A and B are shown apart, each in its own frame.
Chain A
Amino acid sequence: MASEGMRDPKHYQLGKTQFDPDLIKEVVALGGKNAQMCYQCGTCTASCPMGQRSGLRVRTVMRKANLGMREVLDDPDLWLCTTCYTCSDRCPRRIMATDAIIALRNIATREKKVPMSMIKIMGAISKTGHGVPNNEANMKNRVKVGLPENPPTTHTYPEYIKDINKILEVTGLLKIREEMEAESQ
């Protein structure tokens, strides 16, 4: 027989080739405080509103991060966390699980595994300074309550937008957006 036969290397070889010990360190460095201390009690999953209506299992995400299974970065459910922080508040090991998820999202973003919906929000900020920009209908409503058509933000002072873009540029986010928008054509 061939060397593996019907044995699934993804499972039986787990550990030999699939664990990256640096992953958890990256997660902690990006804000996932105490993430390496997880003892898999499941308080997080039980606290999660998304856990009841999707495949998101916070505990499993923490397990994969701890073992160093980079496949967690490809998990579409990683983006279902609403960042409600209930898990982080209740964790008995004081792990900021929400921030660990955000850290994994950060790492995934660098590998261009971020959903386009996020990129679009970045686009709006890059263009107008606002993630949710003003529109015609709203301008009328503003005037009705005695406010000027535009708020005194970057909408009235667009000269500040270039500063915002500079920050997006030096942090590498603009580049990611450019590449991803190009690839999606």
Chain B
Amino acid sequence: MDEEKRIGVFICHCGTNIAGVIDVKELAEYAKTLPNVAHAEDYTYVCSTPGQTMIKDRIKEHNLNGTVVAACSPRLHEPTFRKATEEGGVNQFLFSMANIREQDTWVHMEEPEKALQKAKDVVRMEVARASMLEPLTPKTVPVEKAALVIGAGIAGIQASLELADAGIKTYLVEKEPSIGGMMSRLDKTFPTLDCSQCILTPKMVDVERNPNIELMTYSEVDDISGYIGNFDVTIREKSRYVYEDKCNGCGKCQEVCPVSRPNEFDLGLQPRKAAYVPFPQAVPLKFTIDMDSCIKCDLCKGQEACGDLEAIDFDKPDKLTTVKVGTIIVATGFDMYDVERKEEWGYKVFDNVVTGIEFERLIGASGPTGGNVVRPSDGQKPKSVGFVLCAGSRDQDEEDGAKPYCSRVCCMYSLKHAHQLIEKIPGCVPYLFYMDIRSFGKAYEEFYYRIQNEGGKFIRGRVARITEDPVTKNLTITAEDTLLGTPLEMEVDLVVLANAVVPAESTQKLKTLLTLSNSPDGWLLEAHPKLNPMSTTTDGVFLAGMCQGPRDIPDVVAHAAAAAAAASIPIHKGSVTLEPIYAIVDQEHCGGCATCIGVCPYGATELNEVDGKLVASVNEAKCKGCGTCGSACPSGAIKMQHFTNEQIMSEIEAFAQGW
């Protein structure tokens, strides 16, 4: 070190979080005894404005050239204290943080003396490290003025429209042949009873028309590499076996196709052909050939069908496209719980037990029964319908795949279904078996009032089990009316299970590609559940809609708009600042062995010829500073900035000194 090191140590009380367990004054006194410490003091909340001002003032007063704050986790306030240090005139990377809260006083509350000793050890270590730190300059990289939205349900549609209208080129990738997601399967939406397709399709059309949106349907993300501002995304456009630019959506191929399969869009309740569009209002209106079912009879290619247009080609391959984007929004939605695993309710065993989403298809005009709710067993209209709320939600039975959380939408859609039955089938009585009615949103409680007023019946008791009459196929529901305090059995014509929403299977692959985590409940993990539900801890990657957790349509739209706003910021700023925590190769000592090339998980190292010798170098933007190459290099030629061997060794030696 050229200069004499003069380090300032600031011990935070954090209210009583730290000061309530250890003697912070004694810790400050101890810090004063450490080598290179020119000043030490304790303070109630160092992260507060006066606290930060204090750091700046002390730097000037004591001519400090390094700072250590002993407080909470660096995940919270490292940026705060780095900024204060920089504003005080000292390079921000000469600041080091000692975590004496999450890793000390919060977990050793019962042993205050030992906690104090541990705090002393940690402060001593961080002072040693701070003595070895070097000033560094953050790197600024340009941000590609484009965004990627993965998933085109209402969340992805909303997010991409907001980004596009803000002038940002947006790639919208959807794995199904059409956009629209789950919302396009719904008949009506609560509480307004708007027709779902009627409010959704205008947005779908906007997406198709928007010059800033490049829509890639029947496509999936194959690979993502890079970092914020500079993501390289490989998208696989799966082959429809149809040339999209030649197909005009006339449907003649569908007419002549002899193969029928259950239509996934209708949950298998209605057939489709092997040449199909999932539903009439599909966007884009381009036909797809399901090659797994196609028998290659060639009828669709014939003169009576596609003939002249020649849009069909059974040999058309998948297309791989690589695009560069600055930010990414994940909007991959949800699946429904496989409620047949709850054998007590007889789903898939009894004909007349259906799920909520199947009910949507039955009551929808474009559904398999043209909007008539009828019993699957005999096509008769039901006169009494039982609704099982919380079917697989609020349930601790993980072995059956049930979920401990509330699915949030089912109370409201069951009320909606009850209303629709009362309206469409005069005399039909809906019975809702519930534990609670969660009608939390705007106009939701009024909707509950309305349905009760219209004749919906509410029985407070969770359905224990359902049996079937083998002759009539009627169902008998067994539950306790807890308000009466009696067990009861009720015979109904049809049962609707409001089954849980669960994280989508298809999101799994994206998690690895984007290094995203789950919350304990299985949904994607947000940056902060209260203050930042639309971001993730991966810079440049944001979340929109159900993929982060159950929510209804208004909340999905708001969440998606929030994600779009957050995703647009780096793009509009034009550049992003990266932490200078990366590897550097000393080319003098590099032997060109390429070990670092093999071990780097981010592809950030490369081998080049310099002055006739093969040496490695590191792409600073791609490097995440993980340290793998630094420890693997047999020549010791790689230095990890801000975490050099000397800096780490000084911490270890400082720790050992206390023993």
Contact = CB atoms under 8 A, between A and B. Distances in A.
A39 B435 contact: yes
Given A42-B479, A43-B464, A92 B395 contact: yes
Report which residue of A39, A45, A52, A59 has the largest number of chain B beta carbons within 10 angstroms of its beta carbon: A45
Interface string A42-73: 11111110011000010110000000000000
A156 interface: no
Interface string B347-373: 000000000000000000000000000
Contacts of A39: 394, 435
A52 B394 CA distance: 26
B417 interface: no
B396 A90 contact: no
Contacts of B480: 42-46, 51, 57, 59
Contacts of B465: 46-47, 90
Interface in B457-514: 460-465, 478-482, 485, 487-488
B457 to A, nearest CB: 16
Given A41-B462, A92-B394, A46 B478 contact: yes
Contact of A42 (B394, B395, B396, B462): B462
A51 B465 CA distance: 14
Interface string B395-430: 111000010000000000000000000000000000
B482 A92 contact: no
A93 interface: yes
Chain A, interface size category, equals 20 to 34
Nearest to A52: B487
Contacts, number: 66
B465 to A, nearest CB: 7
Contacts of B463: 43, 46
B344 interface: yes
A168 B499 CA distance: 50
Given A40-B482, A42-B482, A92 B487 contact: no
A110 interface: no
A57 B465 CA distance: 17
Residue in A34, A57, A92 whose Cβ sees the most chain B Cβ within 10 Å:
A92
Nearest to A86: B464
Nearest to B478: A46
Nearest to B488: A46
* Most central of B390, B397, B463, B464 by chain A CB within 10 Å: B464
Nearest to B435: A41
Nearest to A41: B462
Nearest to A42: B480
Contacts of A142: none
Interface of A: 34, 39-48, 51-52, 57, 59-60, 90, 92-94
Given A44-B480, A46-B461, A59-B480, 6 more contacts: A41-B435, A43-B464, A45-B487, A57-B487, A90-B344, A92-B397
Interface of B: 344, 390, 394-397, 402, 435, 460-465, 478-482, 485, 487-488
15 contacts: A40-B435, A43-B463, A44-B464, A45-B461, A45-B487, A46-B462, A46-B465, A46-B478, A46-B488, A47-B464, A47-B478, A51-B487, A57-B480, A57-B487, A94-B396
